[in-house]
Amino acid sequence: MVTLKDSSKKIRKFDVKERKIIFPQNLYLRGMVLKRLSTSTPKSKLDVVEKFHKNVLNAYVECSRTLEKKMPLDHLLLQFASKIDPVCRMHSLSLTLMKGLPDLVTNVISVAERDAYDLEVHKYHAASLRQPQQKETMDNWWMEVKISRQFPLVSSMACAMLTYLHGPKVESSFSNMNSVVTSETNRLCVESFDAIQTVK
């Protein structure tokens, strides 16, 4: 089984089709849940439990394959974009990759702004900024930096990278929420509503 503590080389070589690697016997439904299902189910229906177990495994494998095709771990843009995490500040590799982001994301920083952006990246990595809180999201941290106007070009790039999913399909999904959440049906939890309003 591969974890985030493993080397990047091992993670990149991970094959989602090898089912034994994905789930050890003691995880997911092989553990207590499957045992409970097996003991509480009549013997005539044990095949249903086993079929369910196989379907869950197939779903995980198919989901992994789809994610691997759409967003492989060795994707160049993902490697560069991961360096906008404020935890990665003050590392030479982060500085180099952040400076290279305009080559991959060409619609945020103009050619005329490129030198100013590179200088700003250096200042950003040397600045003494507030460390993000343990459960603080990156988008909130970067919005605070953007509002401070201390690093306008770097924060524009970071916010663009963090909001890449904000497209027509996402917009239409949240537009549909206006017909669901009305003054009569206001039982949506505050966190969900706040997330919707933030995206809108």
Q: What is the pLDDT of residues 37-60, one digit of tens each?
A: 667 777 777 777 778 777 777 777
In this structure, the answer to whether residues 26 and 104 fall within a common structural domain is no
Kindly state the tokens that stand for 161: 């990278």
Q: Find tokens 């929420």 and name the residue.
A: 177
pLDDT at 72: 72
Domain that holds residue 90: 76-165
Element (H, E) at 42: none
Residue 62 has pLDDT above 50, yes or no: yes
Residue 1 has pLDDT above 70, yes or no: no
Residue 120 CA to residue 126 CA, distance in Å, equals: 10
In this structure, the answer to whether residues 62 and 83 fall within a common structural domain is no
In this structure, the answer to whether residues 29 and 101 fall within a common structural domain is no
Residue 200 CA to residue 196 CA, distance in Å, equals: 6
Q: Are 81 and 101 in contact (CB under 8 A)?
A: yes
Q: How many domains does the chain have?
A: 2
In this structure, the answer to whether residues 61 and 82 fall within a common structural domain is no
In this structure, the answer to whether residues 106 and 158 fall within a common structural domain is yes
pLDDT at 18: 61
Kindly state the tokens that stand for 176: 């549909």
Which pTM value belongs to this model? Answer: 0.53
Residue 62 belongs to some domain of the structure: yes
Straight-line distance from the first to the last Cα atom of the chain, in angstroms, rounded to the nearest whole number: 39
Kindly state the tokens that stand for 130: 């507030």
Residue 180 belongs to some domain of the structure: no
Instruction: Express each pLDDT in 86-130 by its tens digit.
Output: 888 888 888 888 899 899 888 889 999 999 999 999 999 888 888
In this structure, the answer to whether residues 94 and 22 fall within a common structural domain is no
Residue 125 belongs to some domain of the structure: yes
